[in-house]
Chains A and B, each alone.
Chain A
Amino acid sequence: MATTQSGAAAAPTPMTVALKEAVMTAFLIFMLSFLMIGFETQATQGQPLSYTTRFAAIAWGIILVPLGRILMVYDRFGRPLPALFGGGLAFLYLFGGAVVALAFDILVIPFNDYFGPAAGAAGIPLPFADPIIDAIFGLGALYIVIQGVQTIRRRAHGELTLEAREAKEARGSQRAKQLSLVLGPALLGIALVLPFTPWGDRVMVETMTLILTYVMLGWGLNIVVGLAGLLDLGYVAFYAVGAYSYAKLAVDLDLSFWACLPLAGLFAAFFGVVLGFPVLRLRGDYLAIVTLGFGEMIRITLINWQEFTGGPNGISGIPRITFFGVPFDRSPEEGTESFHTLFGLEFDSMQRILFLYYVILILALITNFFTMRLRRLPIGRAWEALREDETACRALGINPTNTKLTAFAIGAMFAGFAGSFFSVRQGFVSPESFVFLESAIILAIVVLGGMGSQVGVALAAVLLIGLPEVMRELSLYRMLAFGAVMVLIMLWRPRGLLAHREPTILLHRGKARARTRKSEATA
């Protein structure tokens, strides 16, 4: 918190400030936790609601957080040593202890009940019964240490002037550019070969398939949000349209995946136009809330339109993917081929999974290629111009509604493709897969990646989808961590991880050309 300007009368000493802020922090922690954490309500069937208390946890919170606060105040006054040592010790003890306790727990105690007194089991006295909470406090301590390190570094290099800060920003953008250049091919390379490496087991490939689905969705939404600057909070609606299109077409009309894929994209684009047309005139935040409304309306319709969508139970028994018409069955029907008989292979269920993986990889790459291409075309430039200044666009004779509508429709089309892939992979669709949270996740991927940055989107998808998959064991904390990561990345880098924009057309390649041109011009 910014120090309150109490005037120059009495220069506050670190001690008084620290005490004051510690008391305030303690009070705040008490306010936040007393009811919500101190009392755990328990709803048991057939009995009135009751509660148990957890005051010990609150007490620890009220002790530890203000202590951290004191360290930070001293750090702010240019005394980083307490932060370094105190924070470091706390981090090592809390985080280390938690890791040991968790490891002990997972190894020793049966898998699913490690929310018991694991710390005790490992013999380490930790403040909180749940080692994950201890670990979170440990990470807080780590943050304090980092603050201390930064203070020391600042002291070594001096305070940043405005120019220096601008230069630093420019360097950051440059670094993002270089990183994108390296990271893009690297990620692509990993994606291509991963299934054939020792790590490419079934779980890994399935996780990667999921990540790639979100990468594709992210790239699709990037057209709408990143390029055209339209905030769409209902993107999942188009994903749902694609998924249900394939499910209905395949189940009722017996069409194959490859026939349905373009149709699903078309349907979704059509929905994009129909939904977008009346509302694209709206200002940013209003558009966001209307698209959110559309997303929810489509979901509610899916739940309630029993005859067509199967209601809450969804549609099951959706035909599996085929190798361009050749199924991946273990024992094909008489007179037909199956994938493994066609290629003279042993039957292996991995074949289908690998095929699905490469299908989504290629779909995602097509999305990327298409987007990159569009960006360099007049329509793409108009999208970006519209994002920058709609009024100026109108003055230049650009039709804002049509331009936005194309962005909306093309974005929706890719969601439709991804949706039909989703339903062919699952073999089952239900409204539960298309809740608002999905839209929020896709949007988070786009924004966290750095709007408009294709590599950034891929990186953010790996972080946001991959990490929770890996952390599945900590399932209870997964969504909490997810939300926290969204907030923290925004605080840390409000423009996204790899925020960098490359012009779509360059006049000078490098400075040498610029100079020759200049001499030409003057000559």
Chain B
Amino acid sequence: MEYFTQQLINGLTLGAIYGLIAIGYTMVYGIIGMINFAHGDVYMIGAFQAMIMFLICGALGLTWVPLVLALMLIVAVIFTAAYGWTVERIAYRPLRGSTRLAPLISAIGMSIVLSNFVQLAQGPRPKPIPPVIRGGFQIMESDAGFVVQLGYLQIVIILLTVGLMAIFAYLIAKTPLGRAQRACEQDMKMASLLGVNVDRTISQTFVMGAALAAVAGMMVTLYWGVNDFFMGFVAGIKAFTAAVLGGIGSLPGAMLGGLLIGIIEAMWSAYFTTEYKDVAAFGILVLVLIFRPTGLLGRPEIEKV
């Protein structure tokens, strides 16, 4: 029981990170109907920028943890958002309305470009940083002496995720930006006839997705404490799985899917074998798509003939 609780906590933390990345996939898929293959790499860049900001803080002699965290967060978000914007502008916008495969290929190309750019600019080696937030609450202790710990960092991650979700839900539901986004999702041509600036709305979607990916990147930098240029691929796939699992196009779905994937992965590693934990994630993806292609919270689609 204690062991289970610990894994649940770990899984939720991991899941919050996946969920934040998954939102980027789900928003982009919702609005332009394509898999933004480079999103995982944008997340990786977010992690690197957060890490570099952490180093800069160290060099500037800033040691007050909340300030360091805030700086990492803000800087990573802003600078990574620029990447999100650029990727859309270069690789996707010119191909809008082209064949279905063209943007996907250019997205894969962009993903290769980004990861190799980071490899060139920052070197191929994994980059370790020391833990910033240590310690935590001891929630339970079993008779055998196994201590269930809820780390402060885990609390920060989960609170931050919940906060961001709330902000996002507000943005999408209540602001003109969210309205424009939802309009574009329904019918891009009609939205543009009604005066919605479609290009700008799509750009904003990418920027928002990249910003959330940057937050996820910052969290993962703190949580695992090591970044490398290749980290975006697997995380991206898992986050996409999460988006599909939750129902692509649905923001709460993405978060729910992320949490589920995180928990499943933690449990699988704990009770079966760590080697096949990625297989578990992919296996779930396949099962979901076969038995419930609309995902858990997705809207069912009626085929129009």
Interface residue ranges, A against B (CB under 8 Å): 1-2, 28, 31-32, 34-37, 39-43, 48-51, 225, 231, 278-279, 282-286, 288-290, 292-294, 296-297, 300-301, 303-304, 391, 436-437, 440, 443-444, 447-448, 451, 476-477, 479-480, 482-487, 490-491, 494-495
Q: Which residue of B lies closest to A440 (CB)?
A: B108
Q: Among A37, A50, A292, A486, point to the contact of B109 (Cβ < 8 A).
A: A486
Q: Tell whether, in the assembled complex, residue A28 and residue B82 are in contact, meaning their CB atoms are under 8 Å apart.
A: yes
Q: Tell whether, in the assembled complex, residue B283 and residue A487 are in contact, meaning their CB atoms are under 8 Å apart.
A: no
Q: Tell whether, in the assembled complex, residue A278 and residue B290 are in contact, meaning their CB atoms are under 8 Å apart.
A: yes
B67 at the interface (CB under 8 A from A): no
| Chain A nearest CB, measured from B31 CB (Å) | 14
> Digit string of B91-124 for contact with A (CB within 8 Å is 1, else 0)?
1001100111111111011111110111111110
Interface residue SS majority, chain A: helix
What residues on A are CB-neighbors of B136 within 8 Å?
A: none
Q: Tell whether, in the assembled complex, residue B45 and residue A36 are in contact, meaning their CB atoms are under 8 Å apart.
A: yes
Q: Which residue of B lies closest to A282 (CB)?
A: B289
What residues on A are CB-neighbors of B109 within 8 Å?
A: 444, 482-487, 490
Bound complex: CA A296 to CA B238 (Å) = 12
25 residue pairs of the A-B complex, CB under 8 angstroms, read A1-B89, A35-B52, A36-B49, A37-B121, A40-B121, A40-B123, A43-B125, A49-B129, A279-B286, A284-B100, A297-B278, A300-B276, A304-B275, A437-B112, A444-B108, A480-B117, A482-B109, A483-B116, A487-B91, A487-B109, A487-B110, A490-B95, A491-B94, A491-B95, A494-B102
Bound complex: CA A447 to CA B109 (Å) = 12
Most buried by B among A40, A278, A285, A451: A285
What residues on B are CB-neighbors of A31 within 8 Å?
A: 78-79, 82
| Chain A nearest CB, measured from B108 CB (Å) | 5
Q: Tell whether, in the assembled complex, residue B100 and residue A49 are in contact, meaning their CB atoms are under 8 Å apart.
A: no
B75 at the interface (CB under 8 A from A): yes
What residues on A are CB-neighbors of B82 within 8 Å?
A: 28, 31-32
Within 8 A of A (CB), among B48-82: 48-49, 51-53, 55-56, 59, 75, 78-79, 82
Q: Which 7 interchain pairs have the tightest Cβ spacing?
A: A486-B109, A483-B112, A31-B82, A293-B282, A483-B113, A487-B109, A494-B102
B18 at the interface (CB under 8 A from A): no
Q: Which residue of A lies closest to B129 (CB)?
A: A49
Q: Tell whether, in the assembled complex, residue A289 and residue B35 are in contact, meaning their CB atoms are under 8 Å apart.
A: yes
What residues on B are CB-neighbors of A42 within 8 Å?
A: 123
A451 and B94 in contact, given A32-B86, A39-B52, A40-B123 (Cβ under 8 angstroms): no
What residues on A are CB-neighbors of B286 within 8 Å?
A: 278-279, 290, 293-294
Known: A31-B78, A486-B105. 13 other contacts (CB 8 A): A28-B86, A31-B82, A32-B82, A32-B83, A43-B127, A51-B55, A285-B104, A290-B286, A296-B279, A300-B279, A440-B108, A480-B117, A483-B113
Q: Which residue of B lies closest to A292 (CB)?
A: B237
Bound complex: CA A225 to CA B82 (Å) = 34
| Chain A nearest CB, measured from B271 CB (Å) | 17
| Chain A nearest CB, measured from B50 CB (Å) | 9
Most buried by A among B98, B273, B275: B275
Within 8 A of A (CB), among B102-161: 102-106, 108-114, 116-123, 125-130
What residues on B are CB-neighbors of A2 within 8 Å?
A: 199
| Chain A nearest CB, measured from B83 CB (Å) | 7
| Chain B nearest CB, measured from A461 CB (Å) | 15
How many A-B pairs fall under 8 Å by CB? Answer: 187
A41 and B293 in contact, given A28-B82, A447-B105, A482-B112 (Cβ under 8 angstroms): no
Q: Tell whether, in the assembled complex, residue A39 and residue B56 are in contact, meaning their CB atoms are under 8 Å apart.
A: yes
Q: Among B35, B125, B282, point to the contact of A296 (Cβ < 8 A).
A: B282
Q: Tell whether, in the assembled complex, residue A35 and residue B102 are in contact, meaning their CB atoms are under 8 Å apart.
A: no
| Chain A nearest CB, measured from B281 CB (Å) | 8
B90 at the interface (CB under 8 A from A): yes
Q: Tell whether, in the assembled complex, residue A447 and residue B53 are in contact, meaning their CB atoms are under 8 Å apart.
A: no
What residues on B are CB-neighbors of A290 within 8 Å?
A: 285-286, 289
| Chain B nearest CB, measured from A184 CB (Å) | 23
Q: Tell whether, in the assembled complex, residue A296 and residue B237 are in contact, meaning their CB atoms are under 8 Å apart.
A: yes
A294 and B282 in contact, given A476-B120, A486-B112 (Cβ under 8 angstroms): yes
B206 at the interface (CB under 8 A from A): no
Q: Tell whether, in the assembled complex, residue A304 and residue B52 are in contact, meaning their CB atoms are under 8 Å apart.
A: no
Q: Which residue of A lies closest to B122 (CB)?
A: A41
What residues on B are CB-neighbors of A49 within 8 Å?
A: 51, 55, 127-129
| Chain B nearest CB, measured from A319 CB (Å) | 30
Bound complex: CA A278 to CA B286 (Å) = 9
Bound complex: CA A490 to CA B98 (Å) = 10
What residues on B are CB-neighbors of A443 within 8 Å?
A: 105, 108
| Chain A nearest CB, measured from B201 CB (Å) | 15
